[in-house]
Amino acid sequence: MGNVDQLNTLQKKLNTNHLLTISDLTCDEITELIEEALVLKQEQKQGIPHPHLQGKTLGMIFEKSSTRTRVSFEVGMMQLGGHALFLSSKDIQLGRGETVSDTAQVLSRYVDGLMIRTFDHETIEEFAEHSSVPVINGLTDTHHPTQVLADLLTIYENKGPLKGLKLAYIGDGNNNMTHSLLQGAALTGMNMAVSSPDSFEPDNQIFKDASELAKQHEAILSFHSDPKEAVKEADVIVTDVWTSMGQEAEQETRKKHFQPYQINKQLAAYAKKDYLFLHCLPVHRGEEVTAEIIDGEHSVVFDEAENRLHAQKALLIKLMK
């Protein structure tokens, strides 16, 4: 058994590339992923096949429901020549009490990569610790790195180099989108302003760490109680739903807190005239954003949704090829 144990240990050492948060990447790696995604997007539009992951299999574990994450990863693997395997937590032994460690070790022997969409961020960290294949965070309550890669790609497509741009995030500051955007902005040299009601500020440690990272890339992260201050002269405005999955019991209370933070024509007037509006979807028109804004000329939300496919294909190639 000694040789087998040594082989397993070596395999784990050779497969330590995971994407659990945006800060697992460097600025150069984000740039490379954006450039690769643009090439893949162009090739797809031209009908040029790119089977970079021929014969590879991605296991996809879902503890939360999904539209864009499931479809983009599944279609992405197919277009790359591989296969994606949908695994609902209700249908595998994980849902019947098998440990995360055991599940990770077993699945690592079947598939070439794992994408997980779950609640607690600690769950995906435990998966990565015990997996001998790359693990990708498809969303946790704390981070959403694959969505933010698509957001950065979308901003780059429309605005060019990211360094020096200003991004304003308005709404629930203590959610996965805010945290991943803070890290993504810091790494790419974008200035980012967050505005949230009291008690809904970003996680203090994540904000502190991202601010230190921002200094290294000559960027500034800031927090404002007044959303007008955050949006002032912004190149990009981003928001998200006020009530995320698992918070449904708080919906009415949250509506009252967040109403002054709605993205509407009056608030958007403080941004630059050519600002972009992003939203990760699904959206509640009339709550976090008015229909006039999300369906208007500044909105790129459907390009953003499409770019989940292209950004994730670039990521899959980087981690699994």
Where in the sequence numbering do the catalytic residues fall?
117, 144, 147, 240, 280, 308
- Does the annotation place 176 within a ligand binding site? yes
154/294 Cα distance (integer angstroms): 15
Q: Give SS3 for 118.
A: coil
- Does the annotation place 146 within a ligand binding site? yes
Cα-based distances in Å from 166 to 95, 143, 188, 249: 43, 21, 11, 34
- Does the annotation place 254 within a ligand binding site? no
Residue 261: closest CA among 236, 290, 283, 234: 290
- Does the annotation place 139 within a ligand binding site? no
17/12 Cα distance (integer angstroms): 10
Burial 188-205, CB ≥16 within 10 A → b, else e:
bbbbbbbbbbeebbbbee
49/44 Cα distance (integer angstroms): 7
- Does the annotation place 18 within a ligand binding site? no
- Does the annotation place 109 within a ligand binding site? no
**Is residue 29 a contact partner of residue 317, using CB atoms and an 8 Å limit?**
no
**Is residue 182 a contact partner of residue 205, using CB atoms and an 8 Å limit?**
no
- Does the annotation place 281 within a ligand binding site? yes
Residue type for position 218: E
What's the token pair of residue 262? 């709605």
What's the token pair of residue 27? 């600025």
Pairing state between β 57-62 and 221-224: unpaired
**Is residue 168 a contact partner of residue 230, using CB atoms and an 8 Å limit?**
yes
- Does the annotation place 21 within a ligand binding site? no
- Does the annotation place 28 within a ligand binding site? no
What's the token pair of residue 195? 């505005």
Angle at 43 between CA 40 and CA 44, to 5 degrees: 85
**Is residue 181 a contact partner of residue 167, using CB atoms and an 8 Å limit?**
yes
- Does the annotation place 144 within a ligand binding site? yes
- Does the annotation place 70 within a ligand binding site? no
- Does the annotation place 7 within a ligand binding site? no
- Does the annotation place 225 within a ligand binding site? no
106/77 Cα distance (integer angstroms): 21
Residues at the binding site for carbamoyl phosphate are 66-69, 93, 117, 144-147, 280-281, 308
Instruction: Return binding residues for L-ornithine.
Output: 176, 240, 244-245
